Amino acid sequence: GENVEQHPSTLSVQEGDSAVIKCTYSDSASNYFPWYKQELGKRPQLIIDIRSNVGEKKDQRIAVTLNKTAKHFSLHITETQPEDSAVYFCAARKAGTYKYIFGTGTRLKVLA
């Protein structure tokens, strides 16, 4: 069935370094890929998304890349700050449906 794998499960970086989180999806019909940030005890918040008709999207320190051939997409955070520490989830949605499949999350720690 539909599946989204997310790696790594935990990631520690020094403040100022970059962080990369990768997700792989199984359904080639997926066409929308959002990323959510969830701080402890809080709701998931959309931080960036990408559609299948583009290969890269950037918003300040955050970027997402998509490789449709390999069926994977990645979140890149540059110049990390302590407030970037959170759990990050990727998701994939199949064209023509409303169902999102989420990855298992990556706990990012930015060390000051």
For other proteins, the binding residues (CB under 8 A) are: 6, 32, 34, 36, 42-46, 49, 89, 91, 93, 97-105
How far apart are CB 104 and other proteins at their closest, in Å? Answer: 5
C-alpha dist (Å) from residue 64 to 11, 55, 112? 17, 8, 24
Considering the complex, state which of residue 46 and residue 79 has its C-beta at the smaller distance from other proteins: 46
How far apart are CB 93 and other proteins at their closest, in Å? Answer: 7
Those residues whose C-beta lies under 8 Å from the C-beta of residue 69, and which sit 6 or more positions away, are none
Instruction: Give the gyration radius of the chain's Cα atoms.
Output: 13
For the CA atoms of 67, 51, 36, 23, what is the dihedral angle to 10 degrees?
-20
Considering the complex, state which of residue 36 and residue 73 has its C-beta at the smaller distance from other proteins: 36
How far apart are CB 16 and other proteins at their closest, in Å? Answer: 28
